[in-house]
Structure 1
Amino acid sequence: MTDVKTPVGEAAEAPVSKPGKPIAWPLGIAGVALLVVGSFLSWSYNSQILNDLSINFYPGGLQLLAIFGAVLSLVLLLAEKGPLVKLGSWLDATLGLRMLGTGLAVYMVLIVIAITTQAGGLINVNPGGYVSLVGALLLAASAWMLPLRQLRDMSEARLPGWAEILAIAVLMGSILYAAAYALGLQDAWSFILCLLFIAVVATALFRTGALSWIGHVAQRRKRVLTLAAFVVAFLFPFTQNGSDANMSIANQVLIFSATAMGLNIVVGLAGLLDLGYIAFLGAGSYTAAVLSQSAFATVNWKPPFLLVVLLGACVSMVLGLIIGTPTLRVSGDYLAIVTLGFGEIFRFTMGNLDGNNGPNLTNGPNGVPGIPDLKIGNFNFGDSHIVAGIDLGRFSNYYFLLLVLIGFVILVFARLNNSRIGRGWVAIREDEKAAEAMGVNVFGLKLLAFAVGAFLAGLAGTIKAHQDAAVSPDQYQFIESAFLLAAIVLGGMGTIAGVLLGATILKLLPEKLRFFSEYRLLMFGLLLVLMMRFRPEGLVASRRRQLEFHEEDEELAVAVEEEHLIVEEAK
């Protein structure tokens, strides 16, 4: 049943579209109570599994998550009927409860299965686990018996400025805590269950409309959101207790994100399908490697790193111009095949420049190992530092440098996207013939997209070479280009937050799900299939992109038109 939103100014108590069962609300309260009580009791007889859930009145991590879910459910129940009923006129508490209750039930069922399989039998599930399971099932049943209500438009919801800024701060702090907690989980089952819980809560908040309100707040306070995001990113190393493993993963995510953002210009804005983009990252890495202080470097010139960064980016840009000039007159599948071939040619070329098949420039298949850590002035990135009593190791140093890089890349992307050049790229993506007929320099803008995208990838590659301490041809295979393209499709083409989210998911999950071994690619494929079926516009898509896939949504069309008018008035 779809929700009908009431005009602004009508009564907060909107009429109920369909009456619910009287028992629904008290049943939900009982479910919340049982879920909380059970979470304070022991869930497992075996203390060696799921990070120890065997202690009474001392909840473990997964039990604390269940308690948080119960508290959130209680808030939604009180918004449905209770002291928070005014909030319920804005939030779709029923849909949120349905998602949250069902998700918590699945969460508890999987916990029982995990204890059973890891501990060797259902007998190892202690009473607390069953109490929480019953509570989650009662909550889910209650949610599906509650009525749906007519709601106000969340875009009209306003709070004082300090409250909206506080909401952004709480959201970003929650993201920081969730990321730190999830990365700290070493147990496979615990990590999967944590991801499931985060996905359930995020989906429930989306169903209620709370995330929609956050989106409107973010539009009104973009600078606050941007500052909060970078503060959270800056504080992340201080939550890892000096863990090099987690910081190494974080660095790979940032490198992958910066590279994907460059590809987002080519694919997301200009609509050019590039399947060999990883070659530009490799060009930057090899440039930094052969100009480094490594004993295996083949070039005797050792310029300062800041100059190396520019040289690596320019080499990648030149490659982009070389491949783009003769090939950008074709498009679609033909361009995809050409760029795929370019990516493979680059990899084989780097493997053949070994002094036998060509000049000795890259040491062939052996690559360039032993690349020393960066040293800018007196600061050595290989040294550990203690800040506020927290040990920040080698990977933390590179993390802060990569944070500066990703900030620069985002700035370049945002400026280009909001410029006349960006509008030209979007016009080419939508209809190249129509754009050319309207006077857009199609070939020039397509070539510029290739050059700028390659330049940004080259920047990331120069830092990647020093962080990895080695480069070799097998690091730049076609599968890496495929993953970069998948990050853009998964996150949302042409957006910043979407690409960052997609890159994080596709780089983080394979690292943390190594226990699935060869099944990781199967899971990746299933994820993309589900995304294309249920949300083809991506996880975080622009409204215009959403409208392309949901043309029948009149409300979305009106919102897009209003957004366009606001932008035009601002200009």
Structure 2
Amino acid sequence: MKLKTPDALVARYSGAAFPAILAGAILLIAGSLMAWTYDRSIMGDLTIYFYPAGPQWLTLLAGVLAIFLILIPRLGFLHGLAEHFNPAAALKALGTTTLIAVVILLGGIVQPLGGLVNLDPGAWVAFAGALVLFLGSRVLPLPEPTDASDVRLKSTLEILVIVVMMSIALFGSAYILGIDESWHFTGLLIFVGGLVLATFRFGYFGWVAHLANRHRRVLTLAAFAVAFLFPFTQDGSDANMSIAAQILIFSATAMGLNIVVGLAGLLDLGYIAFLGSGAYVAAILSASAFSTVDWQPPFMVVVLIGGVVAAIFGLIIGSPTLRVSGDYLAIVTLGFGEIFRLGMNNLDGSNGPDLTNGPNGIAAIPNLNFFGFDFGATHEVFGLTLGRFSNYYFLLLILIAFVILVFARLNDSRIGRGWVAIREDEKAAEAMGVNIFGLKLLAFAVGAFLAGLAGTIKAHQDVSVTPDQYVFLESAFLVAAIVLGGMGTIAGVLIGATVLKLMPEKLRFFAENRLLLFGLVLILMMRFRPEGLVASKRRQLEFHEEDEELADAIESDLLVEDVKK
């Protein structure tokens, strides 16, 4: 029996695509308005008819979006969108991810209640709708790729689009963090990923990228406004703000590593040691009863000392090891990370000087206090409660802004272009007069300095510092965040760090299999988008040289950027 190719299926059944997608969307909407189970405790009470709750809002949204996308080429007043955007490609992404998300959401009902018999009619209708939508989208013909870069609105409307987009990001992130059930969170995460993919295939992100270039300052201010307002959406929740603060620490550290790996192309597998060195400096110079140094300078001095000590470690490890490259460099840096951890274990007064209390670490680190503002106390702002982790979150927000500023300035400078030249072809860069060794050493020192700054705040937020916090796995996660998000980019690293810190916290029902899931995600990323979630144009060109249209577009954009510089 000869199997039919996808093109043959599209040619044969394309006429059924429109009614199938429309029927699937209607079934999804109908299923959203019906009960999914009899148990009120599952995912926010899915037992009420004509009153969507929890994940039912996702299927309702998927149905409405599917109807909107399938009608774009068929309605006169929407026909202009089809000339610049690609609704068919968006429907394919939406149909696939909606089906996967519905299956996982229904699994969240079946698994705790013990069987398919616990599904009410609404669940089956929603599943049928997702399946029909998926099948219809598979046989939908794809038109030629479109370009929305020339779509322009009035400046006020474009700024309004940015504000609305950032507002959705603010309340969406607050809603996602508020979900405690792992099955619900997983389904929601896949559905959100599907929406992002659908909007990307639709061409919206390409248009937003051009819009962002025209209003870069507005976008930057809106992004930091969203980050600043985030704690006010959490109703004083220390659990969620603890996760958010850890994400900022991880992001700041990953941004420093992005200089080493993303710009200079040097694989560092022991980078967590620089974060640990800053944390130990802050712990030793704190007023902790377990501190072994009787000197407590102001915290701003401690921050600088922590950054400088980390930078010195970067120079120490960099000077002898940067003469090697590739796998050998990775092995050497891996060894340095282990040396740091073992060294902190041995500085206990028995095997070495009494400096770190060995495996016990330094505990009872006091909270910071700036000009009478106690970071460990609860504060009321505009009638909203801000707890301890919210206080540290705001401080870390200032740090991440500084780290992003340093990275952006270096990336746009001659130093940044020198790092990129080394990453692309070290021999060619050396032949053109680039100081290879000096720039590599600078990358290690600057990256380590930024990680040290983050470590000084981390010590006070965590209250204690122990050697087992700085193991190789943490360095591997930092590298993975850069690769997953997009090497050499700012937004990509922030997204990658957020995903890798958020997933382990929310997927606890996988227990020890969380790393297996993480590995599968990375494998899928390397297969389908090796350049990362938010790819720099140069990295995108490296991985898609065979795509002549994309290569020509990227090369022209890079030429424009180089001319501007």
Task: State the Cα distance separating 1:19 from its structure 2 match.
Answer: 9.7
Corresponding letter in the other structure for 1:330: V
- Answer yes or no: is the 8 Å Cα contact 2:101–2:188 preserved in 1: no
Structure 2: which 5+ residue stretches go unaligned?
none
Question: What is aligned with 1:9?
Answer: none
Task: State the Cα distance separating 1:518 from its structure 2 match.
Answer: 1.0
Question: What is aligned with 1:355?
Answer: 349
Question: What is aligned with 2:86?
Answer: 92
Q: Distance in 1 between matches of 2:178 and 2:340?
A: 38
Any idea what SS the aligned residue of 2:385 has? Answer: strand
Corresponding letter in the other structure for 1:153: D
Q: Distance in 2 between matches of 1:348 and 1:547?
A: 42
Task: State the Cα distance separating 1:120 from its structure 2 match.
Answer: 2.4
Q: Distance in 1 between matches of 2:272 and 2:101?
A: 38
1:182 is the counterpart of 2:176: yes
What does residue range 428-467 of structure 1 map to in structure 2 within 5 Å?
428-467=422-461
Identity of aligned residues (%): 63
Cα deviation code 1:367-417 (max 9, x no counterpart): 110000000111110111112221110000000000000000000000000
1:327 is the counterpart of 2:321: yes
Q: Distance in 2 between matches of 1:208 and 1:411?
A: 32
Task: State the Cα distance separating 1:347 from its structure 2 match.
Answer: 0.9
Question: What is aligned with 2:23?
Answer: 30
- Give the alignment partner of residue 312 of structure 2, picking from 311, 315, 318: 318
Any idea what SS the aligned residue of 1:510 has? Answer: helix
- Answer yes or no: is the 8 Å Cα contact 2:537–2:558 preserved in 1: no
- Answer yes or no: is the 8 Å Cα contact 1:51–1:190 preserved in 2: no
Question: What is aligned with 1:225?
Answer: 219
Q: Distance in 1 between matches of 2:301 and 2:468?
A: 26
- Give the alignment partner of residue 98 of structure 2, picking from 97, 104, 110: 104
- Give the alignment partner of residue 378 of structure 2, picking from 363, 367, 384: 384
Task: State the Cα distance separating 1:140 from its structure 2 match.
Answer: 2.7
Runs of 4+ aligned residues of structure 1 deviating over 4 Å after TM superposition are 17-23
Q: Distance in 2 between matches of 1:481 and 1:109?
A: 34
1:64 is the counterpart of 2:57: yes
Question: What is aligned with 1:172?
Answer: 166
Question: What is aligned with 1:542?
Answer: 536
Any idea what SS the aligned residue of 1:156 has? Answer: coil
TM-score, L = length of structure 1: 0.94
TM-score, L = length of structure 2: 0.95
Question: What is aligned with 2:489?
Answer: 495
What does residue range 259-408 of structure 1 map to in structure 2 within 5 Å?
259-408=253-402
- Answer yes or no: is the 8 Å Cα contact 1:374–1:380 preserved in 2: yes
- Give the alignment partner of residue 148 of structure 1, picking from 129, 134, 142: 142
Q: Distance in 2 between matches of 1:136 and 1:532?
A: 27
What does residue range 498-537 of structure 1 map to in structure 2 within 5 Å?
498-537=492-531
Task: State the Cα distance separating 1:80 from its structure 2 match.
Answer: 2.5
- Answer yes or no: is the 8 Å Cα contact 1:116–1:125 preserved in 2: yes
Any idea what SS the aligned residue of 1:133 has? Answer: helix
Any idea what SS the aligned residue of 2:55 has? Answer: helix
Q: Distance in 2 between matches of 1:173 and 1:407?
A: 20
Q: Distance in 1 between matches of 2:201 and 2:12?
A: 20
Q: Distance in 2 between matches of 1:288 and 1:511?
A: 27
Q: Distance in 2 between matches of 1:108 and 1:276?
A: 40
Question: What is aligned with 1:12?
Answer: none
Q: Distance in 1 between matches of 2:100 and 2:516?
A: 22
Question: What is aligned with 1:6?
Answer: none
Structure 1: which 5+ residue stretches go unaligned?
3-16
Question: What is aligned with 2:465?
Answer: 471
Corresponding letter in the other structure for 2:464: A
- Answer yes or no: is the 8 Å Cα contact 1:99–1:204 preserved in 2: yes
- Answer yes or no: is the 8 Å Cα contact 2:544–2:551 preserved in 1: no
1:73 is the counterpart of 2:86: no
Q: Distance in 2 between matches of 1:37 and 1:77?
A: 18
Q: Distance in 1 between matches of 2:427 and 2:143?
A: 47
- Give the alignment partner of residue 108 of structure 2, picking from 102, 114, 131: 114
Any idea what SS the aligned residue of 2:84 has? Answer: coil
Q: Distance in 2 between matches of 1:273 and 1:24?
A: 48
Any idea what SS the aligned residue of 2:402 has? Answer: helix
Task: Provide the aligned C-alpha RMSD in A.
Answer: 1.9
Corresponding letter in the other structure for 2:254: A
Q: Distance in 2 between matches of 1:191 and 1:131?
A: 21
